[in-house]
Amino acid sequence: MARIIAGISSSHVPAIGAAIDNGRTQEPYWQRVFSGFEKSKEWMAKAKPDVVIGIYNDHASAFSVEIIPTFALGCAAEFPPADEGWGPRPVPVVKGHPELASHIAQSVILDEFDLTIVNKMEVDHGLTVPLNLVFGSPKEWPCPVIPLAVNVVMYPPPTGHRCFMLGKAIRKAVESFPQDLRVVVFGTGGMSHQISGPRAGLINSKFDKAFLDNLTKDPKKLIRMPHLEYMREAGAEGVEMVMWLVMRGALDDKVDEVYRFYTVPASNTAVGHIILENRQRGAAKRAAAGKPKRATRRVAPAKARRAAARARTAVRRGR
């Protein structure tokens, strides 16, 4: 069975990608940003996920205003980097996981999330910058990545609650995939920033820190936050943070926060980053210890016993 081991969130500021691509990561300004991801790279090297599900948004690269899907799941075998006006980023082609992706599509659509299936798509900095931040700049990305593009460009984006529930549906889908895969879900975007209009440059660190606290300990406080509050408090483009709630919804209710990083600014944006691990549950612990599973066989007879008891009661009542 596939399972989700952890969730990671990170900003996806395009200027971070430009700093990498132009060899400027050692400049003091950028060093301050990149140093915050050293621990994450170490964590990632140990975690070695088999698949990443990357929740991100497209920025007028793959989707113009011709088609604006709210949730678009990448089911292709590969996703080339998009030309965002300066030529495609010199990063590896993102290899997908079509089997798991189509399994997720089938499962979550029947769970009433009407996804758009995308079999041909280029991916922009929204996806590739977070990959760089936690994997560095390898020749090939170390594992397949399933992109899930969320519309946060045209208002209204999906609600935080909807995103959270989609995360839960994705988890259910992953856990019903027969192959043993260790999956990490990325939520990207944010944190506070506004890049449009006379209020551009807005940063709200208090909001961001409270958001990170609640993301770990009490995400239910976040999932009903209206878009107005994101936009008022964290900037018009800060509403991107609803994408972090897809990641959080895919995790256990109780998680361990293993790492957090926050700095202002990267270009116009507050950079936030967090790693949340699912606690190892009984089945996972047993699997890790190499012991056989026993849950499935015992559950079925218990259910059958309860059903039989109900039937006996019904008979006694003369139905």
Q: Which residues are annotated as catalytic? A: 125, 193
Comparing CB distances to other proteins, the nearer of 228 and 315 is 228
Rounded CA separation 254/95 (Å) = 31
Q: Which long-range contacts (CB under 8 A, 24 or more apart) does 16-20 make?
A: 16/125, 16/129, 16/132, 16/133, 16/266, 16/267, 16/271, 17/89, 17/125, 17/128, 17/129, 17/132, 20/129, 20/132, 20/137
> Binding of other proteins at residue 270 (CB under 8 A)?
yes
CA 44 to chain centre: 15
* 287 CB neighbour count, 10 Å cutoff: 16
Comparing CB distances to other proteins, the nearer of 50 and 213 is 213
Among residues 143, 183, 237, 246, which is the contact residue for other proteins, using CB under 8 A? 237
Contacts of 143 (CB under 8 A, 6+ apart): 48, 49, 50, 51, 52
Q: Restricting to residues 34-63, which ones interact with other proteins according to CB under 8 A?
A: 59-60
Q: Of 64-72, 136-144, 164-172, 182-190, which part binds other proteins (CB under 8 A)?
A: 64-72
Among residues 48, 120, 224, 293, which is the contact residue for other proteins, using CB under 8 A? 224
Residue with tokens 């008891």: 309
Q: Of 19-27, 37-45, 100-108, 152-160, which part binds other proteins (CB under 8 A)?
A: 152-160
CB of 178 to other proteins, least distance (A): 39
Rounded CA separation 294/312 (Å) = 28
Q: Give the phi and the psi of residue 116 in degrees, each rounded to 5.
A: -95, 130
> Binding of other proteins at residue 203 (CB under 8 A)?
yes
Among residues 56, 135, 207, 261, which is the contact residue for other proteins, using CB under 8 A? 207
Residues at the site binding other proteins, with contacts judged by CB under 8 A = 14-15, 59-60, 64-66, 68, 83-86, 153-156, 192, 194-207, 210-211, 213-214, 218, 221-222, 224-229, 231-233, 236-237, 264-265, 267-268, 270
